[in-house]
Copies of this chain bind each other. A is one copy, B any other.
Amino acid sequence: MRPRRANSREKILAAAADVAREAGPGSLSLEAVASRAGVSKGGLLYNFPTKAKLMQGLVESYLSDFQKALEARAAEAGHESVLSAYIKLSADDCEQPKPSASWMFSAIAEDPDFLTPIKAFKRQLFQRLKEETDDLGSLLVCFLAIEGMRSMNLFDSDVLSEEERALLVASLLKIAG
């Protein structure tokens, strides 16, 4: 089970995300990823027998990281709601000027179904948020606005300035109550 030198799996996953971000989602080839990860193509295929498995791994690690981060935020003192935690987490995620999830585009190009777990996750999150509030209208606005913020970051759209994003987050937190 244990890799010989280090944890190749995670190195490969990180390398894949890097390649997609820096060389563009269309340039995510197995060779590029292997090279970036300091691993041979054979080594990569040993860990991920197929490109599809690699994509799947990307999605799974993304989701588990997100879940962990959200849980951590929600458990922090001073958060009156999961929605607030989600807003703040997303705000921080979107601080990074570089989109960290360009690999999603590669995954979609490979097969749109790779996003199914992400959709399911979002549905589940939305459900959880719905149970928390009785003002569905406000929740919808907040939830979609966060979605919009995340999508802008994903597409690397620098439409909003730093101050505008801060104001947006403040407004959302106010709406969230």
A positions within 8 Å CB-CB of B? 24-26, 105-106, 108-112, 115, 119, 122-123, 126, 136-138, 140-141, 143-152, 155-160, 164, 167-168, 170-172, 175
Closest-CB distance, A120 to chain B (whole angstroms): 9
Contacts of A108 in B (CB 8 A): 24-26, 105
CA distance A140 to B159 in the complex (A): 11
CA distance A166 to B24 in the complex (A): 36
Interface of chain A: mostly helix, strand, loop or mixed: helix
* Residue in chain B with minimal CB distance to A119: B157
Output the residue of A108, A137, A164, A167 with the most chain B CB within 10 A: A108
Tell me the number of copies of this protein. Answer: 2
The answer to whether B122 and A157 touch across the interface, beta carbons within 8 angstroms, is: yes
CA distance A149 to B148 in the complex (A): 7
CA distance A94 to B167 in the complex (A): 27
Among B105, B149, B155, B158, point to the contact of A144 (Cβ < 8 A): B149
Contacts of A170 in B (CB 8 A): 137
CA distance A47 to B145 in the complex (A): 40
Closest-CB distance, A53 to chain B (whole angstroms): 17
The answer to whether A171 and B140 touch across the interface, beta carbons within 8 angstroms, is: yes
* Residue in chain B with minimal CB distance to A172: B141
Contacts of A109 in B (CB 8 A): 24-26, 105-106, 109
Name 16 interchain pairs, CB-CB below 8 A, sorted by A.
A25-B108, A26-B108, A122-B157, A123-B159, A140-B145, A140-B171, A141-B145, A141-B175, A144-B146, A144-B168, A145-B148, A146-B148, A147-B147, A147-B149, A148-B149, A148-B150
